[in-house]
C-alpha cells in the first residue's frame, strides 16, 4: 500500500538540540499509526513540521506524492490535514457550536463557498458524534476537562479532513469517555480517514493502533506492527526511562 503522507529526512533543530532528526515516516491510508516515545522525543515537533506551524531545517513532506513542505499552515489545512493540539487551543470565548462551525468554514473572506446548510449539518453531526449537542451554547472556556477534549475532536471531525493528526487526544479521559473516544476514531477509520495518533498510554495504543512508530531524541528508532514494537525489550527500556 503506498503512503498517503510521507516524510523523508525531516529535521528541525532548536539551538543545539535536534528536536526532530532525519525522520522518515509513512502514513498508510485508512489506518491508525501511533507515534510513541518518551517526553521530549519530538512527536509534537514532527506534527508541527507536517502542518507548517514550524518549517523544517531539512527534509520533505509529501501528500499523495505532492510536496507540501514549507507552505503556510492554512494552506496545508485546506489540503485536508487536520490536527489537534496537546494543549487543545480551543477558541475559549466562543460557543461550542461556533468552535465547530468555524471548522467547517475554510475561506477567510466575508463569504464561504458552497452551501451553508451542508456546513451547518456537518457541524451538528460533529457535535452529536462527540456528545456535545447539549453544551452547544456554552462557551468553550466553561467546559469540563473531557468535554474540552471532545470539542477539540469535534472541530477536526467538522473539517471533513481525510488526515487527522491527534496529539495526545485521550490523555486523562475517564473510562467511559475513553470508550467513546475509541469508537469515534474507529468510525472515522471505517470512513477511510487516515490517523496519526500521539499517545503515551500503551493500553490505548494496543487497542487502536494498526502500526507504531517509535521516536526517541528526535530519531525514529523503530516502526512496525504493534506486537513487534511493544515486545521489544530495548524500546521498552527507553520508553520507561531505564536508559543506560
Partner 1 sequence: MIAYLLNLAQLAAIFGLLSVSLNILIGYGGIFSVAHAVFFGLGAYAGAHVALDLAPDILLAALAAALIAGVFSALLALPALRVRGEYFVIASLGLQMLATTVFTEASDVTGGLGGLVGIPPPTLFGVSLADPLVFLLVCLGALALALAVVRLLMRGSFGRALMALRDSESAAEALGKNVPLLKTLAVLLGGAGAGIAGALFAFQEAFVNVESFTLDQSVLIMAMVIIGGAGTLAGPLIGTVLLLALPAALTFIPGLPPTDIGAVQQLIYGLAMTLLMIFRPAGLAGRRAGQR
Ligand X SMILES: Nc1ncnc2c1ncn2[C@@H]1O[C@H](COP(=O)(O)OP(=O)(O)OP(=O)(O)O)[C@@H](O)[C@H]1O
- State the minimum distance, in angstroms, from the CB of residue 49 to Mg ion: 13
* E-state strands within 106-210: 163-167, 194-198
**Of residues 238, 170, 176, the one with CA closest to residue 206:** 170
Considering only 23, 25, 49, 90, the residue that binds partner 1 (CB under 8 A) is 90
Largest CA distance in the chain: 59
What x-and-dash track marks residues 77-106 binding ligand X by CB under 6 A?
---------x--------------------
Instruction: Give the angle 25-28-34 at the CA atoms, nearest 5°.
Output: 65
Q: How far is the CB of 83 from ligand X (least distance, A)?
A: 13
By a kind-dependent CB cut-off of 5 to 8 A, residue 14 interacts, out of Mg ion, partner 1, ligand X, none, with ligand X
Instruction: Answer yes or no: are the C-beta atoms of 73 and 81 closer than 8 Å.
Output: no
Residue 171 near ligand X by CB under 6 A: no
Instruction: Tell me how far, at minimum, the Cβ of 112 lies from partner 1, in Å.
Output: 5
The closest alpha carbon to 131, from 146, 117, 116, belongs to 146
Contact status: 103 vs partner 1 (CB under 8 A): yes
Instruction: Name the residue with cell 525531516.
Output: 10
| Identified binder of Mg ion from the candidate list 5, 42, 44, 151, rule CB under 5 A | 44
- Rank residues 45 and 104 by Cβ distance to ligand X and give the closer one: 45
Residues listed for the chain: 244
Amino acid at each position: 500500500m503506498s503512503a498517503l503522507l510521507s516524510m523523508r529526512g525531516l529535521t528541525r533543530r532548536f539551538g543545539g538540540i535536534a528536536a526532530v532528526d532525519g525522520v522518515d515516516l509513512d502514513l498508510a491510508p485508512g489506518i491508525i499509526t501511533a507515534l510513541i516515545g518518551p517526553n521530549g522525543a519530538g512527536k509534537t515537533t514532527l506534527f508541527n513540521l507536517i502542518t507548517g506551524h514550524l518549517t523544517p531545517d531539512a527534509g520533505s513532506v509529501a501528500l499523495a506524492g505532492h510536496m507540501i513542505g514549507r507552505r503556510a499552515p492554512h494552506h496545508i489545512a485546506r489540503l485536508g490535514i487536520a490536527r489537534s493540539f496537546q494543549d487543545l487551543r480551543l477558541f475559549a470565548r466562543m460557543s461550542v457550536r461556533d468552535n465547530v462551525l468555524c471548522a467547517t468554514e475554510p475561506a477567510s473572506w466575508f463569504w464561504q463557498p458552497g452551501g451553508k446548510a451542508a456546513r451547518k449539518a456537518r457541524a451538528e453531526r460533529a457535535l452529536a458524534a462527540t456528545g456535545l449537542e447539549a453544551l452547544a451554547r456554552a462557551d468553550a472556556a466553561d467546559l469540563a476537562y473531557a468535554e474540552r477534549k471532545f470539542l477539540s475532536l469535534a472541530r477536526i471531525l467538522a473539517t471533513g479532513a481525510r488526515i487527522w493528526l491527534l496529539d495526545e487526544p485521550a490523555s486523562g479521559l475517564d473510562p467511559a469517555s475513553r470508550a467513546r473516544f475509541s469508537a469515534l476514531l474507529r468510525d472515522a477509520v471505517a470512513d477511510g480517514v487516515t490517523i496519526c495518533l500521539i499517545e503515551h498510554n500503551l493500553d490505548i495504543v494496543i487497542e487502536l493502533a494498526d502500526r507504531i512508530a517509535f521516536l526517541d531524541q528526535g530519531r525514529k528508532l523503530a516502526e512496525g506492527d504493534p506486537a513487534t514494537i511493544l515486545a521489544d525489550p530495548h524500546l521498552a527500556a527507553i520508553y520507561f526511562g531505564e536508559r543506560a
